[in-house]
Each structure stands twice: as C-alpha cells, then as structure tokens.
Amino acid sequence: MHKYSCWFQSIENPDYKYNIDEVIYRCPKTGSLLEVEHDLDELKKETPKYWKNLFDLRYRKQSWPYGSGVWGKKEWVVPFIEDKNIVSMYEGGTNLFWADKYGKQVGVEDLWIKMCGNSHTGSFKDLGMTVLVSAVKQLISNGKEIRALACASTGDTSAALSAYCASAGLKSIVFLPKNKVSIAQLVQPLANGATVVSLDTDFDGCMKIVQEVCRRQQIYLANSINSLRIEGQKTISIELCQQFDWQIPDWVIIPGGNLGNISALGKGFLMLKEMGLISKLPRLVCAQAENANPLYQSFLNDFEIFNPVLAKTTLANAIQIGDPVSVNKAIKILKVFDGIVEQANEDELATASAKVDLTGTFNCPHTGVAITAFEKLVKKNIIKKSDKVVIISTAHGLKFVDFKINYHLEQLQGISNQFSNHPIEVEADPDKVMKVLEDNIL
C-alpha cells in the first residue's frame, strides 16, 4: 500500500467522494465537475522543508521517473500509481526565461516567461497527459477493461495523447475540427499512429461527440474534463516557485480556452500554501482571444452570469472555445486569487507575439494573447513596474509555423505588419549582396 491517498470529489459538494480507480468524469449525483483531493493531514506529517528538499533533490535528475517535473512531485499528484505503470517522457523542467530585454521595453524588469512548450510534444498538455495515460495503465493492470483513449482537440491535446499512448502501447482516437488545426498539430497524432477523425464542426462540436462515444464503449475520455490531467498541470505552479527558490511572483498570466490550465495553476498554488511551502498567493490573469471570450464577458459582470458563446475563428486556435468545460473551476479559482480576465484581438495577439520574438523567443499565438494581456494591465497601472510577473507560454512556436510565416509574409487578413520581416532576394553577386547589407544593417 502506498502511504498517501487521493480520491475524486464533487466540486459542488465535498461530501460526494469517489474512488480514484473509478472511471468517472463528472459527479453522478450533482453532474458537476470532479477534482482530485489529497489526504493533506498525511502529507503534512512531513515539514515544508522536507518537501522542498525532496523536490529539489529529484528535480531534472536521471533517476526515472522522478526527474520529470510531474513525477518528482508524485506524492502530491497521483500517489496511487505504481512506478511500473508510469508513462513518462521527462516532461516539465521547462525553462523559466528571464525576459529582461522585452521587460526593459515595457518597464517591468522582473519579467519571466515560463516556456511550457519546450516539452516532448511541444505544449504543456504533456504535463496532464503523462498522469492520465499512467492512470489508465494502472487501471488496466488492476483488471479494468479499457480498449482505447479518446479526446477532442484543438491540436495540442491530441498530440500529447497520441504520443503517450504510443509509448504505452495503448490505442488512441482523436477528434479534430476539420481545417481548424495547424499542419504540425495534424501530423503529430498521425505520426504516433492515432486514429484521427476529422469532423466538419468546431471544437465544441468535437467535444460533444467524444463524450457520447466514451459513454457508449470502453473508451476512456482524455479531455481536461478528466480531473487527473489537472493534477499533472498543477505542477506548473509548484515548479515555478521551485525555480524562484520558493519565492512567489506577484502575477501569473496564462492564456485560457477550455479553462483547465488556469484551474490547475490555481490548484497548485493553493496546495503549496496549504502545505506551508509558500506564505502568500500571486494574482492570476486569464487571457482570452476576443474572438472566443466567454470568460472575459463573464468577468465584466463580476462572474455573476456566464454564457457560452459561438467561438469565432482566431489565430490562437488552441483557445478557440466558446463553451469551456472547466468554467466553474476557473471562476472559483479566479475569485480566490483576485483574478483578472483580459482579452486580445487578432491584431494585438499577432503583433505581441512578433514583438517578443524580436527579443529571442519563438512563441505561439496563445502566448501572444497572454503578452497582450500583460501589456494592457501594465498600461492600466494594475501591474506595477516593480512587480514580479510570469507569463505562461503554452506551446512551442514551431507548432504554428503557418501563423508565423504568414505574419512575416504579410498574408494575414486584417493584421498590421509592424514587426514583419521578409527574405530579401538578391543576385548571387558579392557587390550586389554588399549593397543590400549596407542598406539594411551596416
């Protein structure tokens, strides 16, 4: 038996608890989302210092699987999984990039970008998927019959699911909205051998289909409605504090679509505080694309009402979601963290992404949304120049080369071209080449 335990619990009524090895996504009694709860009394038998030391000792070391940013915190994440069932690809441990050059431009010098896209499949989705796929392996080894894992995806979830399933020898099925994901996002699940089903609908439509399919067959649902994923993603906050030597930033800004990650980020900070590893909480900002901004609209009404919207096309396609599954968790978290929701239109997000690339990143359009939110809050003087700020970069820019190249070739409709940069064609003649170089840089 493992020493630490966790279980599923209704987010509406803490009396409704379910075993962690049940295949269950919502509370059968209330219909609400579930979350994983931990036996904190047992965890608290060790001191904050003990946990900090343990996490630091394991961090990015080679003793498998504890060098992983997720599994190095296993006791706080999913202690019930036996090591032999863990499917890990050394996720987490991502660079906390000191954005000093860009920070100087804005006047906020204590500015950091957490590069969660520098990961196995190129997005933070790996953090949750390693937990979910490992949990399924554990269930199968306990005798449960699960034939395949499935998800609806705007791209990155399917890449993570198919890679972890391929590594585990499990079957994966992904439902993608036709013509709405990038080439890189389509090719990853194909390469990893997933069954890729392209549906003539949007993400919200794919989400409905996958839930129906999973109800009918022994197919396990891998979307972030599944609270096991949130436990893995929660390690972003723990790792962030660890990288700051257990100091807490004043602000953390994250782009949000289905709103699992903002919920996870908050859950991680709350656990750190409850366990005594940190003494205060940061403020959280959720950044949405104006074309898919149901949470922003709700924020304008102090979260008193929430209405799903029909998401319009956005360059930030991973957050093109009008009816976010985790909205209730996200609102709960934002209230606790004195949270703010900001939005970015298409021009703002593309310009912000290009502007920051000029200081050395290669960031994705969702990161552009978060950067826009950051600049808006600095302008409003809500974020102060002396504040310590972390922007969560959710995916690697190389997954979005079509967005990048179209920006630089000025082929995006309605987008200004302040920072675009195109190749210069010159004859292969040294004099002509020197002339061009003199005109441009010398």
Ligand X SMILES: *Cc1c(COP(=O)(O)O)cnc(C)c1O
Residues forming contacts to ligand X in the complex (CB under 6 A) are 123, 125, 156, 224, 255-261, 318-319, 364, 366, 394-395
Of the pair 65, 368, the CB lying nearest ligand X is at 368
**Shortest separation between residue 370's beta carbon and ligand X, angstroms:** 9
DSSP 143-195: T----EEEEE-SSHHHHHHHHHHHHHT--EEEEEETT-S-HHHHHHHHHTT-E
Please name the residues in contact with 7: beta carbons below 8 A apart, sequence gap of 6 or more.
Answer: 17, 18, 19, 20, 36, 37
Least separation in angstroms between CB 425 and ligand X: 34
Residue 342 CB, nearest distance to ligand X (Å)?
14
Close Cβ partners of 101 (under 8 Å, ≥ 6 residues apart): 359, 360
* For ligand X, the closer CB: 72 or 256: 256
**CA-only gyration radius of the chain, Å:** 22
HEC string for 89-154: CCCCCCCEEECHHHHHHHCCCCEEEEECCCCCCCECHHHHHHHHHHHHHHHHHCCCCCCEEEEECC
Residue (85 or 162) nearer to ligand X, CB: 162
Q: Are 98 and 115 in contact (CB under 8 A)?
A: no
At which residue do the structure tokens 């970015």 appear? 344
- Rounded to the nearest whole angstrom, what is the least distance from the CB of residue 295 to ligand X in the complex? 9
Structure tokens at 192: 């990893």
Nearest by Cα to 343 from 315, 371, 317, 318: 371
Give the separation between CA 431 and CA 434, rounded to whole angstroms: 5
Nearer to ligand X (CB atom), residue 236 or residue 241: 236
Shortest Cβ 116–ligand X spacing (Å): 8
The conformation of residue 73, written as its DSSP 8-state character, comes to G
Tokens (6 digits) for 380: 């409003």
Q: Please, which residue, 75 or 156, has the CB nearer to ligand X?
A: 156
DSSP codes of every residue in 242-266? HHTTT---SEEEEE-SSSHHHHHHH
Q: Is the distance from CB of 127 to CB of 235 less than 8 angstroms?
A: yes
Taking the complex as a whole, how short is the minimal distance between the CB of residue 36 and ligand X, in angstroms?
16
CB nearer ligand X, residue 75 or residue 202: 202
Minimum CB distance to ligand X smaller for 151 or for 383: 151
> By C-beta, is 80 or 203 nearer to ligand X?
203
Least distance in Å: CB of 145 to ligand X?
A: 29
CB of 312 vs ligand X, minimal distance in Å: 17
Interatomic CA distance for residues 22 and 178, integer angstroms: 33
CA 205 remoteness from chain centre:
21
| CB 152, min distance to ligand X, A | 11
Shortest Cβ 258–ligand X spacing (Å)? 3
CA pair distance 390, 96, nearest whole angstrom: 9
Between 72 and 128, CB nearer to ligand X: 128
By C-beta, is 258 or 351 nearer to ligand X?
258
Cα 51 from Cα 376, distance rounded (Å): 37
